[in-house]
């Protein structure tokens, strides 16, 4: 413990020092808690061995093969040792690099995986600088959300995004699976949801295969995410954002609906007074819960502008009761906090601005008052589908205009709602809505580099944060994105390296 406090103190001092020439290339995003640089470096060679926890060791070998060309052997023990032992704190790891050996230690494989991401960012031209790092996350929940309803993304595309976010130590992928434009997950008891309900997307056709995941497809996504120590959070958005379901089953709505290819929100609602609706909720939630090894299921609840207040409250009470009987902790967008009858421990996801808009702070505090925690996704800084500037070819501007990169970095989730600090926060999430985003290139160039800013806010100790300090680290990170073939927007506030 004493050693750790010492290392921490030095690390914090080091964090304040200006970057030395050359050091910039081996900086890490998200910034670790404590780092002390040593002399010399570890040189990777064709006969360097990797040992310890086998799954993470194999992942590391694969990543180093891409980075260096060496196919390093993996065995019980190695020059690079991934040891299950103790961690400085939950979710964390310690990493020691000397010219002779690399040792990574954590209390589980997920912690080692986080440490491996640090190691991979330190590696440069086949060498890793001598260093001692002690690191752990500020927040337990570090999420990225992908909207596969407005535009569908295939299993392969989602797996690529999982790889993209894994390098930034995200550990949750929230999939927005249903919306007005499409229902994207097969539900055996209501097959029409992925018939008529998945017949289109924003802008209509232009897509060859089916616009939904079979259950096996979905299991493949969940398993792939797990191989990157990422837990999938499925979202079934209700009672609004349900045009696709109603188009498939008119009895679910008060009025008939047809498949929708536009980008308006707030025009659909499930029929609140009909028992069929609750049979539907029960069937869907049961089948989705059965596909979900993780603890959470997201029930939406946002922008239900076509549902009266009384109906909304009645629906949320019944739908959340049904869902909690399926053994999952519920997450809802902050409007769900209008209800004072939530199952205890329900998590609220805040999507208003860094200055809360009408009612949003109260609705979010309601989750805390009912024993739950909060995930922060302030739309004006954490929404990856906002334009970077007025000239961005993709993206929207409704959340207080474009979100330039520095704005995505210089905010603190514990400083938005009085009464919601680190203790009340489960974590931070960066959503990407896909009304204007249809391809992997679109997705990556909108997400990166802003998602690196959100990752640091979710993982690294609380600020003060300065974009001037972040920018050179991001420039170095840009080289890694180039090497990985990840498209990113060369934001003008950073001097990118050639």
For position 477 contacting ligand TNX by CB under 6 A, the verdict is no
Dihedral of the CA atoms 242, 246, 251, 256 (nearest 10)?
A: 120
For position 312 contacting ligand TNX by CB under 6 A, the verdict is no
Query: Per the residue annotation, which of 140, 261, 303, 469 is the catalytic one?
Result: 303
CB of 46 to ligand TNX, least distance (A): 49
Q: Choose the binding region for ligand TNX from 191-199, 203-211, 378-386, 452-460 (rule: CB under 6 A).
A: 378-386
**Placement of tokens 């790889």 in the chain:** 163
| Contact assessment for residue 318 and residue 334, using Cβ atoms and an 8 Å cutoff | no
CB of 334 to ligand TNX, least distance (A): 8
Question: Measured in whole angstroms, how far is the alpha carbon of residue 264 from the centre of its chain?
Answer: 25
For position 260 contacting ligand TNX by CB under 6 A, the verdict is no
For position 484 contacting ligand TNX by CB under 6 A, the verdict is no
For position 303 contacting ligand TNX by CB under 6 A, the verdict is yes
Size of the site for ligand TNX (CB under 6 A): 11
Q: Which of 121, 166, 161 lies closest to 142 in space, CA to CA? A: 166
Of the pair 81, 444, the CB lying nearest ligand TNX is at 444
Distance CA 359, CA 65 (A): 52
Distance CA 415, CA 410 (A): 11
For position 333 contacting ligand TNX by CB under 6 A, the verdict is yes
Q: Choose the binding region for ligand TNX from 39-47, 48-56, 118-126, 379-387 (rule: CB under 6 A).
A: 379-387
Choose, by CB under 6 A, the member of 42, 172, 383, 409 that binds ligand TNX.
383
Of the pair 120, 202, the CB lying nearest ligand TNX is at 202
Could you give the C-alpha distances from 389 to 28, 109, 409, in angstroms and in order? 27, 40, 15
Could you give the C-alpha distances from 134 to 35, 99, 472, in angstroms and in order? 7, 19, 22
What is the x/- site pattern for ligand TNX, positions 339-358, by CB under 6 A? ------------x-------
**Is 493 an annotated catalytic residue?**
no
Of the pair 44, 375, the CB lying nearest ligand TNX is at 375
Query: Which of 120-158 are b and which e, b meaning 16 or more Cβ less than 10 Å from the residue's Cβ?
Result: bbbbbebbbbbbbbbbbbbbebbbbbbbbbbbbbbeebb
Could you give the C-alpha distances from 482 to 23, 373, 486, 489, in angstroms and in order? 19, 37, 6, 11
What is the x/- site pattern for ligand TNX, positions 273-302, by CB under 6 A? -----------------------------x
Where in the sequence numbering do the catalytic residues fall? 303
Residues that bind ligand TNX (CB under 6 A): 265, 302-303, 333, 351, 379, 383, 385, 396, 433, 435
């Amino acid at each position: 413990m004493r050693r750790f406090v010492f290392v921490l103190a030095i690390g914090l001092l080091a964090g304040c020092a200006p970057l030395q020439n050359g050091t910039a290339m081996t900086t890490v995003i998200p910034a670790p808690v404590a780092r002390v640089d040593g002399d010399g470096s570890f040189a990777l060679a064709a006969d360097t061995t990797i040992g310890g926890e086998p799954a993470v060791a194999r992942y590391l070998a694969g990543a180093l093969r891409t980075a260096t060309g060496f196919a390093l052997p993996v065995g019980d023990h190695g020059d690079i040792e991934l040891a299950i032992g103790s961690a400085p704190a939950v979710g964390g790891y310690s990493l020691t690099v000397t010219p002779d050996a690399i040792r990574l230690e954590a209390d589980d494989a997920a912690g080692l995986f986080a440490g491996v991401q640090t190691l991979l960012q330190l590696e440069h031209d086949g060498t890793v600088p001598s260093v001692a790092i002690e690191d752990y996350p500020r927040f337990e929940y570090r999420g990225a959300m992908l909207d596969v309803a407005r535009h569908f993304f295939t299993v392969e595309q989602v797996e690529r995004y999982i790889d993209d976010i894994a390098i930034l130590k995200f550990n949750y992928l929230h999939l927005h699976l249903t919306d007005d434009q499409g229902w994207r997950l097969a539900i055996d008891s209501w097959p029409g949801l992925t018939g008529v309900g998945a017949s289109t997307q924003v802008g209509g056709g232009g897509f060859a295969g089916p616009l939904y995941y079979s259950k096996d497809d979905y299991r493949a996504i969940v398993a792939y995410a797990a191989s990157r120590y990422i837990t999938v959070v499925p979202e079934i958005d209700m009672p609004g954002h349900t045009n696709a379901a109603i188009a498939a089953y008119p009895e679910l709505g008060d009025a008939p609906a047809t498949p929708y290819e536009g980008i308006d929100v707030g025009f659909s609602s499930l029929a609140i007074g009909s028992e069929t609706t609750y049979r539907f909720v029960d069937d869907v939630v049961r089948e989705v819960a059965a596909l979900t090894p993780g603890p959470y299921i997201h029930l939406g609840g946002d922008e239900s502008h076509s549902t009266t207040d009384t109906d909304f409250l009645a629906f949320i009470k019944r739908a959340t009761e049904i869902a909690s009987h399926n053994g999952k902790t519920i997450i809802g967008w902050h409007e769900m906090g209008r209800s004072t009858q939530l199952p205890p421990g329900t998590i609220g996801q805040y999507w208003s601005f860094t200055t809360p808009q009408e009612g949003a702070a109260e609705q979010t505090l309601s989750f805390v008052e009912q024993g739950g925690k909060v995930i922060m996704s302030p739309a004006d800084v954490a929404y990856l589908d906002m334009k970077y500037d007025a000239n961005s070819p993709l993206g929207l501007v409704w959340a207080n205009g474009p979100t330039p990169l520095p704005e995505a970095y210089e905010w603190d989730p514990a400083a938005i709602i009085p009464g919601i600090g680190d203790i009340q926060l489960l974590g931070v999430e960066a959503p990407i809505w896909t009304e204007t985003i249809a391809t992997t290139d679109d997705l990556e160039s909108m997400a990166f580099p802003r998602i690196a800013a959100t990752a640091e806010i979710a993982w690294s100790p609380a600020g003060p944060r300065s974009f001037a300090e972040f920018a050179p680290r991001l420039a170095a990170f840009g080289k890694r994105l180039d090497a990985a073939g990840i498209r990113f927007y060369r934001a003008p506030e950073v001097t990118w390296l050639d």
